[in-house]
Amino acid sequence: MQLTLVVPELIWPEPEDRETLANLACPALETLLTRNRQTSRPPQSLEATLADLFGHLEGAPYGAFRLLGETESPLEIEEKSWLVADPVHLRFHQERMILADGSSLSITTEEAQALADGLNEHFSDLGRFHVTATDRWYLHLAEDTPLNQYAAPPLSTVAGRSVEQLLPELLHERAMRTLMNEIQTVLHAHPVNRQREDDGRLPINSLWLWGSGKLPPRRETDFDGVWSTNTLARGLARAAGVRTHPVPDDAERFFDHAAPDTVQLIVLEDLTGPVQFENGEAYRTAIESLDLTIPAGSFFA
């Protein structure tokens, strides 16, 4: 069997952080790393890595692919142009503008749908907003909107990070600055956000727009199975006609279900959140738990 294992944010970004890294033992991961050939390549987002694995260039229509990976999505996806419109919170902290993604905002289903309805009421000329999960929203783009050409990095590359230098580059065109200001004004005035602020919760005060485009023609891939909860990975697999599976609980269970003469992909995202938000304690817990699910002997028997 040929196995590709994708573990984004595996390396803690602060090598001198003794509090996080001290006495951190990961024997299974160490065995995997030492018994594989190592190569270096320029850093890229998880989204670009996944697209590359399926033969798509960086900047692929991530929105359409990710929507295809939504298990409960009833929407017609093909031959339509989609844009990811994820809910976020922007705030100033120590003279920096920090972005918090929807997964950290505890958005309810009712709040998400009410906000999307408000956006649809005010921006019908852009297309139509859809909610598939509380923190994953999409915009079915109208044909003549300038958002068809809007290009921003994936949310995973900016969540928990400073964006005050990036935003001017993305919004250099006056029309885009005006549109984003209008979106933020509508969100700010919405009763949902007023209630959230009254409750002491962070408001959903902006959207992160990225990944526009239509599904491309089907491309063949060597993968026979994809094991992941990541909606983009699942969508890329489905677009290629590859069967998807939940992440296995441990290596033994994976090998019980995957045939020996196949090519498989596993995507494990346990470390993404802790690294994005610089939570050393959560990182230690996640990587130790991850190490327990990967008995090294199972891979190298």
Three-state SS for the chain is CEEEEECCCCCCCCCCCHHHHCCCCCHHHHHHHHCCCCCCCCCCCHHHHHHHHCCCCCCCCHHHHHHHCCCCCCCCCCCCCEEEEEEEEEEEECCEEEEEEHHHCCCCHHHHHHHHHHHHHHCCCCEEEEEEECCEEEEEECCCCHHHHCCCCCHHHCCCCECCCHHHHHCCCHHHHHHHHHHHHHHHHCHHHHHHHHCCCCCCCEEEEEEEECCCCCCCCCCCEEECCCHHHHHHHHHCCCEEECCCCCHHHHHHHCCCCCEEEEECCCCHHHHHCCCHHHHHHHHHHHHHCCCHHHHCC
What pLDDT score was predicted for residue 71?
Answer: 74
Range with the poorest average pLDDT among 21-35, 47-61, 75-89, 195-209: 21-35
Mean pLDDT of the chain: 90
Share of the chain above pLDDT 90, in %: 60
Which sign does the torsion angle of CA 103, 105, 108, 109 carry? negative
pLDDT of residue 260: 85
Interval 179-189: pLDDT, tens: 999 999 999 99
Find, among 225, 263, 216, the residue nearest to 56 by Cα.
216
Q: Is it the case that residue 297 has pLDDT exceeding 60? A: no
When pLDDT is cut at 50, 70 and 90, the band that residue 251 belongs to is: confident
pLDDT tens digits, 92-144: 888 889 999 999 999 999 999 999 999 999 999 999 999 999 999 999 999 88
**Quick one: pLDDT at residue 2?**
87
More confident of the two residues 292 and 10: 10
Q: What is the reported pLDDT for 294?
A: 65
Identify the pLDDT of residue 301. 38
Q: pLDDT tens digit string along 23-52?
A: 888 888 888 778 777 778 888 999 999 999
What confidence tens digit (pLDDT) does each residue in 140-169 have? Answer: 999 888 888 888 999 999 998 899 889 989
The predicted model scores a pTM of 0.91
> Does residue 60 register a pLDDT over 70?
yes
pLDDT at 37: 75
Q: Please report which confidence band the pLDDT of residue 194 belongs to, taking 50, 70 and 90 as the band edges.
A: very high
Phi, psi for residue 264 in degrees, rounded to 5? -120, 150
Query: Residue 77 in contact with residue 215, Cβ under 8 Å?
Result: yes
Q: Are 102 and 86 in contact (CB under 8 A)?
A: yes
In this structure, is the dihedral angle defined by the CA atoms of residues 246, 247, 248 and 251, taken in order, positive or negative?
Answer: positive
The mean pLDDT of 190-216, rounded to a whole number, is 96
**Confidence check: pLDDT of 298 > 80:** no
Lowest-confidence pick of 1-15, 22-36, 226-240: 22-36
Of 138-142, 157-161, 273-277, 290-294, the least confident: 290-294
Write down the pLDDT at residue 93.
Answer: 81
